[in-house]
Amino acid sequence: MDRLPMVSGADAVKAFVKAGWRVDRQRGRQVVLIQPGPSPASQFLSTNSSPRAPSER
């Protein structure tokens, strides 16, 4: 099975915002996104950092 491409946190946040999520708050490198709608449990936390190479994990 092919591996998924590495994506930076900033690119992930941009993709979620484009998909309808919005940035709720940011503290340091952590970004909390929420999905507008009736369910208050629709939250996502992303670390806004660059991807690491497999050897750095």
**Is the pLDDT assigned to residue 55 strictly greater than 60?**
no
The answer to whether position 35 is within a domain reads yes
The answer to whether position 2 is within a domain reads no
Nearest to 8 by CA among 57, 52, 50: 50
Task: Specify the pTM.
Answer: 0.64
The answer to whether position 56 is within a domain reads no
The answer to whether position 18 is within a domain reads yes
Give the tens place of pLDDT for each residue, 20-52: 888 888 888 888 888 877 765 566 666 666 555
**Can you give the pLDDT at residue 31?**
87
Beta bridge pairs of residue 34: 22, 43
The answer to whether position 16 is within a domain reads yes
**Can you give the pLDDT at residue 57?**
44
Cβ–Cβ under 8 Å, residues 22 and 14: no
Give the tens place of pLDDT for each residue, 12-22: 889 989 998 88
Domains identified in the chain, total number: 1
The answer to whether position 27 is within a domain reads yes
The answer to whether position 1 is within a domain reads no
**Can you give the pLDDT at residue 5?**
87
**What is the domain range of residue 45?**
9-50
